[in-house]
Structure 1
Amino acid sequence: MADLFARHSQALDRLKERGRYRQLLPRAGHDFASNDYLGLADSDVLRAAAADAIARGVPVGAGGARLLRGNAHEHACLEEDAAAFFGTEAALFMGGGFNANLAIFSSLPQQGDLVLYDALIHASTHDGMRLGRAEARAFAHSDVQAAANAIRDWRAEGGSGRVWIAVEAVYSMDGDKAPIADLFQLAQENDAILVVDEAHSTGVMGAGGRGLAHAVAHHPNVLSLHTCGKALGVSGALICGARVLVETLINKARAFIYATAPSPLNAALVRAALREVAENRDLRRRADATLDHAHREAARLCGLSGFKSQILPVVIGADKPTMALAAALQEIGYDIRGIRPPTVPRNTARLRISITLNTSAEVISSMFSDLAQLREVHP
């Protein structure tokens, strides 16, 4: 029995030797690690919404899958609100973005179709594609011409099904933005479906925080995924698009059919978060101002530039030096985490610095000043 899990222990030891061992750390220090971009997760707005929902009898638990008794009034109200807010025909609420991508890519692309995905697409999309029946091919990151060439080659090889182009609006580890307008044009030219994961743009980018693909989201060949656990401050995910696609997910997606429904209370909180984003213009203004300050200070104090969003990757390269620098920053009060392969490509381990409304401009300046000094000690 002593050797029952010997291989597991040995695998963990190898991860430790390579600087890739992961462990759960408590929250500590100034927030430069979360995705709570608008500071809503711990806000009075959502506390009040929770109290109100409980007072009016919204259930805490769903009690079952949506197709059984788990389908609550708050779920339907949220989906109606979300479709109106994001400008789509329909919406479907799921427990999280990972499950939502599993649902999309395992059930919507059909046998004979092609899923053409950005090389840096999220792991959940990869897992969804593995469960699906369509062929999957990558194209070079944000390279629209490479995507066009891949479609051309697939057609020349006899591919005759539908093409599904899968991208992230803002890439979670690089912070850069997808060329949505050009990708939509490519989809139009090839009678393809554009699937945009808006996880890191929902609430903070696009018209009124509606995401980078909002201008084209109403088109039937655009499907967007808006996660609720980042800028919206709660949890869950909303798949928004044509009604026929939403109904297909309800009927075909195992990740939806066999999952207990999200809490109706959680649905009520997401509704409140959407209202806050829609009505509180000062929230976006403060977020934009904080981000501008962070970009300026990164350049002024650290010589770091070229950032495109609230996600600031500082690429170190090797795994162990990256984690040592992250630990040094944590020790002096900044919650900054190191990101290593396989989350990012080999030899691109990095600090992922996240800018939120949980951290003041003064602390942001101090952090970049300290980072500049520590980079000399941990090159």
Structure 2
Amino acid sequence: MAGAFPRHEKSLEALRSRGRFRQLMPRDGHDFASNDYLGLAGSDVLRTAASDALARGVPVGAGGSRLLRGNDAEHQRLEAEAAAFFGTEAALFMGGGFTANQAIFATLPQQGDLVLYDALIHASTHDGMRLGRAETRSFDHGDAADAGRVLRDWRAGGGTGQVWIAVEAVYSMDGDQAPLEPLMALADAEGAVLVVDEAHSTGVFGDLGRGLAHGIANRPNVLSLHTCGKALGASGALICGQKVLIETLINKARGFIFATAPSPLNAALVRAALQELQQNPARRDQAWQGITHAQAEARRLCGLEGFQSQILPVVIGDDKRTMGLAAAMQAQGYDIRGIRPPTVPRGTARLRLSITLNTGAEVITAMFEDLARELEASP
């Protein structure tokens, strides 16, 4: 008997045949897959913070949206401390980076505006742009000159609205950095707003882990997003920028207005993570020792180089070969995941190696030794 949803079954079978079927996997083996860059997610720092917060009566649940009864003192303390730490006029805490990015681009750019985005921008930005009313155009990945060309073409065609330039400080699948200096110069010259997603740079890059855009974050034409579920070890996201933009989101962003507020307990954990960045810079230094070691071993053992961050993509190309290599490495005790389209462009399926404080130097070296053998043996 045919299933109740034959079109869905056919679609899933097509994914299986192309090596793109996804399924949930348990955590197992040495961590080369998470975004827990500073090892905070399972740390005593956050365990103690959780215990202390519960002891002083911080609620686990919010009980409603922030605009109803869900606005807790922990949310407001976090926002004040985050604005001070990241050097911005105001901050807004939301439930996750995807929701926050979606809210930014669905709400702030207005009809007649232009969102000018890097070709490899995150899916959450794309979803926000689809919900918004502004025109959208892409520029070549990491190419500020092309961004300027696209912007000027739009102006020449009659575009007169506000321009919003959307980039990731560190790109989640390539690990490379946005050219923030020339993009900031472009924004200044053209009266544009630079929106920087610091998801993979928060905690790792910048003074005390404030991110790659910290030096420009206080400027009126910069908006930054710091997610809390990666290096900060908790969950949620902080949108940081001018007060007028934060108040616009509070009043108009559907993803904020109609969503139950993030857990006040989680806000307390993010506060503790930000305090850890300030009080224990040795944690970040230790993380960079591991990152530098991994980059050197990737070059020495596998001939892989050109990495700019804690994210080391090993581009394979073919989807099925990529997943076969991932399975082989998993069988040897390494939690390494294969990344396929549509997460990355067609023909660029890859192993995404993430270097965190959860994995020591000896394991990193052993992993690259095993990876070298698997790459040589893989057809």
TM-score, L = length of structure 2: 0.99
Deviation at 1:4, TM superposition (A): 2.1
Alignment match, 2:353: 353
**Which amino acid in the other structure matches residue 56 of structure 1?**
R
Alignment match, 2:212: 212
Alignment match, 2:367: 367
Q: Deviations over 1:223-272 (max 9, x none)?
A: 00000000000000000000000000000000100000000000000000
Deviation at 1:279, TM superposition (A): 1.1
**Which amino acid in the other structure matches residue 332 of structure 1?**
Q
Q: Give, in whole Å, the separation in 1 of the partners of 2:180 and 2:69.
A: 39
Is 1:256 equivalent to 2:256 in the alignment?
yes
**Alignment RMSD:** 0.7
**Which amino acid in the other structure matches residue 280 of structure 1?**
N
Alignment match, 1:27: 27
Where structure 2 has 5 or more consecutive residues not aligned to the other structure, the ranges are: none
Q: Give, in whole Å, the separation in 2 of the partners of 1:2 and 1:79.
A: 53
**Which amino acid in the other structure matches residue 267 of structure 2?**
A
Is 1:160 equivalent to 2:155 in the alignment?
no
TM-score, L = length of structure 1: 0.99
Deviation at 1:3, TM superposition (A): 3.7
Is 1:110 equivalent to 2:110 in the alignment?
yes
Secondary structure of the residue aligned to 1:60 is coil
Alignment match, 1:173: 173
Alignment match, 1:339: 339
Q: Deviations over 1:270-294 (max 9, x none)?
A: 0000000111011011011111100
Deviation at 1:23, TM superposition (A): 0.2
Is 1:149 equivalent to 2:149 in the alignment?
yes
Is 1:10 equivalent to 2:42 in the alignment?
no
**Which amino acid in the other structure matches residue 85 of structure 1?**
F
Alignment match, 1:37: 37
Q: Deviations over 1:194-214 (max 9, x none)?
A: 000000000010111000000
**Which amino acid in the other structure matches residue 48 of structure 1?**
T
Q: Which runs of 4+ in 1 moved over 3 A?
A: none
Q: Deviations over 1:160-219 (max 9, x none)?
A: 000000000000000000011111111000000000000000001011100000000000
- Counterparts of residues 199-348 of structure 1 (less than 5 Å): 199-348=199-348
Q: Give, in whole Å, the separation in 2 of the partners of 1:334 and 1:305.
A: 21
Alignment match, 1:135: 135
Q: Give, in whole Å, the separation in 2 of the partners of 1:3 and 1:21.
A: 19
Is 1:125 equivalent to 2:129 in the alignment?
no
Q: Give, in whole Å, the separation in 2 of the partners of 1:210 and 1:89.
A: 15
Secondary structure of the residue aligned to 1:16 is helix
Alignment match, 2:83: 83
What count of residue pairs does the alignment treat as equivalent? 379
Q: Deviations over 1:62-106 (max 9, x none)?
A: 000000000000000000000000000000000000000111000
Q: Give, in whole Å, the separation in 1 of the partners of 2:184 and 2:133.
A: 24
Q: Give, in whole Å, the separation in 2 of the partners of 1:11 and 1:207.
A: 47
Secondary structure of the residue aligned to 1:110 is coil
**Which amino acid in the other structure matches residue 201 of structure 1?**
S
Deviation at 1:2, TM superposition (A): 4.2
Secondary structure of the residue aligned to 2:212 is coil
**Which amino acid in the other structure matches residue 320 of structure 1?**
K
**Which amino acid in the other structure matches residue 343 of structure 2?**
T
Alignment match, 2:48: 48
Q: Give, in whole Å, the separation in 1 of the partners of 2:375 and 2:3.
A: 42
**Which amino acid in the other structure matches residue 190 of structure 2?**
N
Secondary structure of the residue aligned to 1:338 is strand
**Which amino acid in the other structure matches residue 96 of structure 1?**
G
Where structure 1 has 5 or more consecutive residues not aligned to the other structure, the ranges are: none
* Identical pairs, percent: 73
Secondary structure of the residue aligned to 1:115 is strand
Secondary structure of the residue aligned to 1:70 is coil
Q: Give, in whole Å, the separation in 2 of the partners of 1:278 and 1:226.
A: 16
**Which amino acid in the other structure matches residue 300 of structure 1?**
R
Deviation at 1:305, TM superposition (A): 0.6
**Which amino acid in the other structure matches residue 296 of structure 1?**
A
**Which amino acid in the other structure matches residue 336 of structure 1?**
I
Deviation at 1:316, TM superposition (A): 0.3
Alignment match, 1:92: 92
Secondary structure of the residue aligned to 2:69 is helix
**Which amino acid in the other structure matches residue 132 of structure 1?**
G
**Which amino acid in the other structure matches residue 311 of structure 1?**
I
**Which amino acid in the other structure matches residue 35 of structure 1?**
N
Q: Give, in whole Å, the separation in 1 of the partners of 2:54 and 2:378.
A: 50
